[in-house]
């Protein structure tokens, strides 16, 4: 097979993993990124003053059930064991402020209601005394939460946080967001159920640097993609925003953006990596104390981020795709436009306008690169989307 020349737009996980796979198959890869660093939104940076490895675009915890993806990341970086244990500050039913364990578990229930329930007692209490069983067919997030956990837990742990996070009242959001009973009747406070969980010892950027470290890969930073660049390559893998590829000619897909207000302290500010704030009156959603993501390191100074969520304006970094009815209609129009594009595949969280965890991003990137090589060998065109955005 002849050597191909491929352009990866974006030096995040999507561009790096696809680029590496094609480079190992003998092809020539150029990776461009508009930013001054690699790593995309997983970027981590060692803070000069404190030595803390900062998750620059918000906290990232690696978790997966996918053994191949786990082996893949461990090939490039040592992973330290790390379990995500989140706390939340909120008001109990008497209006007293307290710190509670998330996701809601037996400890949360006992502390919140001042009880000493065993698992089956807690289950009966929540499902028979708290849950609003008059709601037969919940339609909204609010109804679903009231149906499952009742007013007190809903207001303390879901309502204010959701309003701040999404800028929408839970009564305007679909019930599907809260799919099943979001409560554990034991003391398990591990946020994720996944088999493999961990944190790259020296951060995600170092891991991605090693993925990109191949003789067939050239990385160009501070280089924004323009469509005319594509003509110099056999194929473009584009992990930038789908609407951005078309210069927003149909309008902008809606995103939430995040503002991080950094503050530095000495010692231990909050005793954990992530503290949520459930009350609507507290303007931020959470505080992240970055050094707790690396408990195997020791630093006197500490770097914290207060996190605020709002609707993204054109100049903001797009974080979470909104994907409500209006956005999905516009997405359909962009998908139709993209289907006519040639020699480009849209990949990753921005290229397909979906929230993707890192493990899913890597899985899709590996599958995309493999199927691209198979189709190329068979002389067939590559699909425009690696995964269906709709």
Ligand X SMILES: Cc1cc2nc3c(=O)[nH]c(=O)nc-3n(C[C@H](O)[C@H](O)[C@H](O)COP(=O)(O)OP(=O)(O)OC[C@H]3O[C@@H](n4cnc5c(N)ncnc54)[C@H](O)[C@@H]3O)c2cc1C
Min dist CB 12 to ligand X, Å, is 2
For position 30 contacting ligand X by CB under 6 A, the verdict is no
DSSP SS3 for 358 = helix
Residues 6+ apart with CB under 8 A from 17: 72, 211, 361, 362, 365, 366, 369
- Nearest alpha carbon to residue 367 among 350, 351, 382: 382
For position 60 contacting ligand X by CB under 6 A, the verdict is yes
> Which residue of the set 256, 306, 323, 370 is catalytic?
256
Which residue sits closest to ligand X, CB atoms considered?
40
For position 125 contacting ligand X by CB under 6 A, the verdict is no
Site for ligand X in 245-284 (CB under 6 A): 258
Residues 6+ apart with CB under 8 A from 187: 105, 106, 107
Min dist CB 133 to ligand X, Å, is 35
For position 386 contacting ligand X by CB under 6 A, the verdict is no
Peptide bond into 254 cis (omega under 30): no
Among 356, 366, 382, 384, binds ligand X (CB under 6 A): 356
Residues 60 and 12 sit within 8 Å (Cβ to Cβ): no
For position 103 contacting ligand X by CB under 6 A, the verdict is no
| C-alpha 15 chain-centroid distance | 16
For position 34 contacting ligand X by CB under 6 A, the verdict is yes
Residues 6+ apart with CB under 8 A from 2: none
Tell me whether residue 280 is one of the annotated catalytic residues.
no
How is 122-161 classified by DSSP, letter by letter? HHHIIIIIIS-TT-SS--BHHHHHHHHHHHHHIIIIIIHH
Per-residue x/- track, 6-25, ligand X (CB under 6 A): ---xxxxxxx----------
For position 147 contacting ligand X by CB under 6 A, the verdict is no
Q: Which stretch binds ligand X (CB under 6 A): 104-112, 237-245, 296-304, 329-337?
A: 237-245
Among 90, 239, 285, 368, binds ligand X (CB under 6 A): 239
Residues 151 and 158 sit within 8 Å (Cβ to Cβ): no
Residues 41 and 12 sit within 8 Å (Cβ to Cβ): yes
For position 224 contacting ligand X by CB under 6 A, the verdict is yes
Q: How far is CA 338 from CA 175, 196, 258, 326, 334, in A?
A: 31, 36, 28, 19, 6
> Which residue of the set 120, 129, 180, 228 is catalytic?
180
* SS3 of the chain: helix, strand, coil, percent, to 5: 35, 20, 45
Closer by beta carbon to ligand X, 117 or else 260: 260
Closer by beta carbon to ligand X, 142 or else 209: 209
Tell me whether residue 357 is one of the annotated catalytic residues.
yes
Residues 6 and 27 sit within 8 Å (Cβ to Cβ): yes
For position 41 contacting ligand X by CB under 6 A, the verdict is yes
For position 369 contacting ligand X by CB under 6 A, the verdict is no
For the annotated catalytic residues, the residue numbers are: 180, 184, 256, 286, 307, 355, 357
Residues near ligand X (CB under 6 A) are 9-15, 32-35, 40-42, 58-62, 224-225, 239-240, 244, 258, 319, 348-350, 356-359, 361
């Amino acid at each position: 097979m002849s050597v191909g020349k491929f352009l990866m737009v974006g030096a995040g996980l999507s561009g790096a993993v696809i680029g590496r796979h094609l480079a190992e198959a003998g092809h020539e890869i150029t990776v461009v990124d508009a930013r001054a660093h690699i790593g995309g939104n997983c970027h981590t940076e060692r803070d000069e003053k404190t030595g803390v490895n900062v998750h620059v675009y918000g906290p990232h915890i690696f978790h997966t059930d996918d053994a191949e993806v786990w082996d893949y990341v461990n090939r490039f970086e040592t992973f330290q064991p790390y379990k995500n244990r989140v706390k939340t500050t909120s008001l109990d039913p008497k209006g007293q402020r307290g710190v509670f364990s998330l996701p809601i578990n037996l400890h949360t229930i006992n502390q919140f209601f001042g009880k000493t329930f065993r698992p089956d007692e807690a289950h009966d209490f929540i499902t028979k005394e708290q849950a609003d069983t008059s709601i037969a067919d919940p339609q909204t997030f609010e109804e679903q939460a009231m149906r499952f956990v009742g007013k007190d837990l809903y207001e303390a742990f879901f309502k204010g946080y959701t309003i701040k996070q999404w800028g929408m009242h839970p009564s305007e959001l679909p019930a599907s967001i809260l799919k099943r009973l979001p409560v554990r009747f034991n003391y398990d406070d591990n946020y994720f159920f996944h088999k493999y969980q961990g944190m790259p010892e020296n951060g995600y950027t170092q891991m991605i640097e090693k993925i990109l470290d191949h003789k067939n890969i050239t990385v160009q930073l501070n280089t924004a993609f323009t469509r005319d660049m594509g003509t110099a390559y056999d194929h473009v893998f584009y992990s930038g925003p789908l609407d951005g590829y078309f210069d927003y000619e149909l309008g902008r897909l809606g995103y939430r953006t995040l503002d991080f207000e950094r503050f530095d302290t000495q010692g231990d500010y909050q005793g954990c990596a992530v503290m949520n704030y459930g009350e609507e009156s507290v303007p931020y959603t959470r505080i992240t104390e970055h050094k707790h993501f690396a408990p195997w390191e020791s630093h006197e100074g500490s770097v914290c981020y207060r996190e605020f969520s709002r609707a993204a304006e054109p100049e903001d970094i797009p974080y979470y795709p909104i994907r409500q009815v209006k956005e999905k209609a516009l997405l359909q129009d962009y998908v139709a436009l993209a289907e006519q594009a040639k020699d480009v595949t849209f990949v990753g969280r921005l290229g397909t306008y979906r929230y993707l965890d890192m493990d899913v991003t890597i899985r899709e990137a590996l599958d995309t690169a493999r199927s691209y090589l198979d189709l190329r060998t068979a002389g067939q065109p590559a699909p425009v989307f690696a995964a269906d955005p709709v």
